[in-house]
Amino acid sequence: MRSKLPDAASSRKMAASSAVVAILASIWLCSSIAADASGSSSETTMHTNNWAVLVCTSRFWFNYRHMANTLSLYRTVKRLGIPDERIILMLADDMACNSRNKYPAQVFNNENHWLNLYGDNVEVDYRGYEVTVENFLRVLTGRHESAVPRSKRLLSDEGSHILLYMTGHGGDEFLKFQDSEELQSHDLADAVKQMKEKHRFKELLIMVDTCQAATLFNQLHSPGVLAIASSMKGENSYSHHLDSDVGVSVVDRFTFYTLAFFERLNMYDNASLSRLFNSYDPNLLMSNAYYRTDLYQRNLQEVPVTNFFGSVMETVHTDSAYRAFPQKNTPRETRIRTGNTAEDDSRRSILTDMTKAECPFTRIVSSLESKMETVGNLDSLVNYGLVMILPVLVVSVWLST
């Protein structure tokens, strides 16, 4: 007896559990398929372009080094091939023409002053008080007002590799913007997640040079993101040296050694990211550089740094020109054109026949006009007409007397 009821209940339970299992399995299958699809999609889409978003989040004269950091990286990235159209540079931009700057319109990242970073072709996209958390997040997610020009938008697509470099003052899970706001780690993670949803990048490298920079990546979950920070939680990032002539520190250590690594490279070098990451010496940095690779599928030894810091494109050579437009139309087009001209001629002749039939006055006028066009100089005709006045007058006077 007991066995019957438990049989029915157990059968119902079994059905229910099997149903739940089936549902769960299907969900897992779907998610795996989706994951596979997304994973495979990120592997099957081609890497087509590189973008760089370089943000300096500080202002005021004593934060000279942050602007020098950003401008140095801007210069490096440009030198290695990314054009200005693919760089979003956000700076407070108050150093070069600051009244405290002994070298006006010049920004140095080294006390030897060999390199003027604020040269002729620095294109700052967001300057001054436009460098806000809101604008930064808008740039990342691509949600701008319609009036924002294209030069201020991150127009990346699913084939883009984006380098995001941020420097300034930061702390535990936050980054200070312009001494008045802060960007928190979950804001950054949300923005990156939105970018991933909208297929705004294929791979993203985030490089942050602030104090306790690694805490900014705590909330990141999106795949395809590589993150590197200058210091871990509880550590400060230090400046490299003080330029006694300018009066402030001119560069940070992490960026200094990053730049030292890149100065040895040119566009065609295939130095890998692992070499970059291994080049950071904690003794020299006075902090522990941290990189997060769990969200990044590829092996760091196979990824050249120019995938993010430069722009080496693979060109596919084809023999056919204008491959974007279908070829087959051209012979037909020429045929149509010749057909048209013949028709046009016949139409034109029809029209002239019609006008010929119309009015003798217009016929006379048109024939006169055609004759006048054949006459070389209209001025001589006018002079002839003027000279003819005299004999006509004399004749008429003679006739009427």
Among 5, 324, 379, 391, indicate the residue that binds other proteins (CB under 8 A). 379
Among 14, 15, 27, 381, indicate the residue that binds other proteins (CB under 8 A). 381
Specify the stretch interacting with other proteins by CB under 8 A; choose among 28-36, 54-62, 107-115, 381-389.
381-389
Q: Does 26 help bind other proteins (rule: CB under 8 A)? A: no
Which token pair is 73?
Answer: 């990286």
Among 306, 372, 374, 391, indicate the residue that binds other proteins (CB under 8 A). 372
In whole angstroms, the minimum distance from the beta carbon of 382 to other proteins comes to: 4
Specify the stretch interacting with other proteins by CB under 8 A; choose among 23-31, 215-223, 333-341, 392-400.
392-400
Specify the stretch interacting with other proteins by CB under 8 A; choose among 133-141, 321-329, 334-342, 371-379.
371-379
For the chain, give the secondary structure using H, E and C: CCCHHHHHHHHHHHHHHHHHHHHHHHHHHHHHHHHHHHHHHHHHCCCCEEEEEEEECCCCHHHHHHHHHHHHHHHHHHHCCCCHHHEEEEECCCCCCCCCCCCCCCCCCCCCCCCCCCCCCCCCCEEHHHCCHHHHHHHHHCCCCCCCCHHHCCCCCCCEEEEEEEECEEECCEEEECCCEEEEHHHHHHHHHHHHHCCCCCEEEEEEECCCHHHHHCCCCCCCEEEEECCCCCCCCCEEEECCCCCCEEEEHHHHHHHHHHHCCCCCCCCEHHHHHHCCCHHHHCCCCEEECCCCCCCHHHCEHHHCCCCCCCCCCCCCCCCCCCCCHHHHHHHHHHHHHHHHHHHHHHHHHHHHHHCHHHHHHHHHHHHHHHCCCHHHHHHHHHHHHHHHHHHHHHHHC
Q: CA distances (Å), 128 to each of 40, 68, 187, 331, in order?
A: 42, 15, 22, 57
Among 99, 318, 386, 391, indicate the residue that binds other proteins (CB under 8 A). 386
Q: Does 378 help bind other proteins (rule: CB under 8 A)? A: yes
In whole angstroms, the minimum distance from the beta carbon of 390 to other proteins comes to: 10
In whole angstroms, the minimum distance from the beta carbon of 401 to other proteins comes to: 7
Q: Does 112 help bind other proteins (rule: CB under 8 A)? A: no
In whole angstroms, the minimum distance from the beta carbon of 380 to other proteins comes to: 10
In whole angstroms, the minimum distance from the beta carbon of 360 to other proteins comes to: 18
Active-site residue set: 169, 211
Among 121, 319, 389, 391, indicate the residue that binds other proteins (CB under 8 A). 389
Q: Does 371 help bind other proteins (rule: CB under 8 A)? A: no
Q: Does 365 help bind other proteins (rule: CB under 8 A)? A: no
The smaller minimum CB distance to other proteins, of residues 270 and 380, is found at 380
In whole angstroms, the minimum distance from the beta carbon of 400 to other proteins comes to: 6
Specify the stretch interacting with other proteins by CB under 8 A; choose among 123-131, 171-179, 321-329, 384-392.
384-392
Site for other proteins, residues 287 to 346, rule: CB under 8 A: none
Among 295, 361, 385, 391, indicate the residue that binds other proteins (CB under 8 A). 385
Q: Does 397 help bind other proteins (rule: CB under 8 A)? A: yes
The smaller minimum CB distance to other proteins, of residues 121 and 400, is found at 400
Which token pair is 260?
Answer: 């030292």
The contact set with other proteins (CB under 8 A) reads 372, 378-379, 381-383, 385-386, 389, 393, 396-397, 399-401
